[in-house]
Amino acid sequence: MMFSQALLIFIVGVAVGCPKNWWGGLILCGLLPNISDLPIAYLQTMETANIFPDVDLGVSFVMIYMGLQLLLQFTLGSYKLIERDFKVDLKMQLEKESNEGLNSQNDLEKGNDNSLSIDASISNKSQKSVQNYSHPDDHCIQNYRPPIIKINNNNHNNTQIENDQDDLSISSSSNELDKIQTNHSRNELSKCTSRISVLGNILESRNARNSPEDIQDIVRVYSRYDELIEEHDIESIREKVQEEKENKKVKLNIFQKISNSFKSIIWKEVFWGMVAVWKDSFKQPASVVLVISVTISMIPWVQALFVVSSQVTLPSAPDKQPPLSFVMDYASYIGAAQVPFGLLMLGGTIGRLKIGNFPKKYLRVPLAITFLRLFIFPIIGCAFNSKVYRDGLFYQNDILYFLSNIDFCLPPATSLLYITAFYTPDDGRDHIQMDMLALVYIFHYIFLIICLPFTATYTMKVSLGY
């Protein structure tokens, strides 16, 4: 499900004109669905209607799907594709600045040549006109002398002027320093303000008239662009831009370009680069939790410390429960609020989405993604799962069949929005990555009202015969 969607959505997205600085986000829109909140919400609703007997088992299946998604997203470092988008974006900006500088230099040289010719023609004409011109009062002009203005310069005045100049330079430098400090503190203050603005609106009624938060507030809170993109990264990207410009001067056919591209790849560096990405990804909290959870659940003796196990018998605690069952009680208490809070955050995030100066030629990209995910893939998924169910690979489990069908009709994961905001520069400008992702979410949740209930109803009525 995940890899087929990622591959097909990437191919179709590039075919309809997806910009290169959003190819990573395009792949992740197909690879990572919102695989936890919406399926669990369906199961909890069906629990009250007594449709499925064991909803907790269904939640366990959802967690298996989510575990695979977290493995791909964080542990294996696929979120780095979004970082790649912003590095490509920076590269495109440097190429644009380089081309503009080259064009302005050419225009300047042309302008200098034109100005020299114009000056020469003007000087020739002026010389001719001066030679031919004779004014009757030329002798008055020749005999004219400007008036002499006397200035009393004493040492005291000179010293006072020098002191004033020193004071002016010191004050100007201090003003520049204050200005830099003010801008820095203003940025930090704006981030803190964005974090507490919601709480302030709740606690103080006078703030109720403030403008609602939008996508720029999300970027302002989560952006760490300045910490991630350092000066040496910019210099290395600039060097690559120069190398590509030099290579473009040599005219090659398409096969030679492909051959040179493969020859320029240093596979040893690529391998160790991937190892570094995986090593860094393992430090993420989601990766650590996933590894610990899978380890506990797959070792029977460790699992029996938390829940009752049919494989291993351990001495019980005084309350006749496993020794560490209180950890599961705490996790269950917190986890019960995960779905409603997740859906509230999802609704609040979608309500913040706003599109800036978005090029209309890119509208077909989110439309194509939405059409594939919500109209084409549910058909493919239902047909594929029907074959799997007939072959007995779902172990005649109706909940697993139901979840596998609706998982083919889900929008992209909400976490993509926050990861993209994490890499977006906090410069107040509209960025194509956030705009494209916002449109993808808006289109998906508009058509999801039709597509997801239709897929769920078809699975229950036709496939399962309820």
Cβ atoms 278, 76 nearer than 8 A: yes
Residue 349 lies in a domain: yes
Tokens of 326: 């209180």
Residue 193 lies in a domain: no
CA distances from 195 to 40, 78, 204, 283 (A): 29, 28, 15, 25
Using pLDDT thresholds of 50, 70 and 90, give the confidence band for residue 207: very low
Report pLDDT digits (tens) over 233-291.
Answer: 666 666 665 666 555 555 556 666 666 666 666 777 778 878 888 888 888 888 888 88
Using pLDDT thresholds of 50, 70 and 90, give the confidence band for residue 386: very high
| Averaged pLDDT score across all residues of the chain | 75
In DSSP notation, 49-69 reads TT-SS-HHHHHHHHHHHHHHH
Report pLDDT digits (tens) over 401-421.
Answer: 999 999 999 999 988 988 888
d(CA 402, CA 248): 54
Using pLDDT thresholds of 50, 70 and 90, give the confidence band for residue 204: very low
Residue 196 is predicted with a pLDDT of 43
Residues 6+ positions from 327 with CB-CB distance below 8 Å: 306
Q: How many domains does the chain fold into?
A: 1
Instruction: Say whether pLDDT at 333 is over 60.
Output: yes
Looking at residue 229, the DSSP 8-state letter turns out to be: S
* Percent of the chain's residues with pLDDT above 90: 25
d(CA 463, CA 466): 9
Domain that holds residue 317: 2-95+276-463
Residues 6+ positions from 438 with CB-CB distance below 8 Å: 215, 353, 354, 355, 417
Residue 233 is predicted with a pLDDT of 62
CA angle (193, 196, 200) in 5-degree steps: 105
Is the model more confident about 425 or about 398?
398
Residue 432 lies in a domain: yes
Instruction: Say whether pLDDT at 119 is over 70.
Output: no
Residue 215 is predicted with a pLDDT of 65
Q: Half-sphere exposure of 152 toward its Cβ, with a 13 Å CA cutoff?
A: 2
Using pLDDT thresholds of 50, 70 and 90, give the confidence band for residue 54: confident
Asked which of 19-23, 121-125, 341-345 is least confident by mean pLDDT, the reply is 121-125
**Rounded average pLDDT over 51-76:** 88
Residue 459 lies in a domain: yes
Residue 456 lies in a domain: yes
Report pLDDT digits (tens) over 166-193.
Answer: 454 444 444 544 545 555 455 555 555 4
d(CA 142, CA 215): 73
Residue 103 lies in a domain: no
Instruction: Say whether pLDDT at 33 is over 60.
Output: yes
Residue 389 lies in a domain: yes
Using pLDDT thresholds of 50, 70 and 90, give the confidence band for residue 205: very low
Residue 181 lies in a domain: no
Residue whose token pair is 């058909």: 379
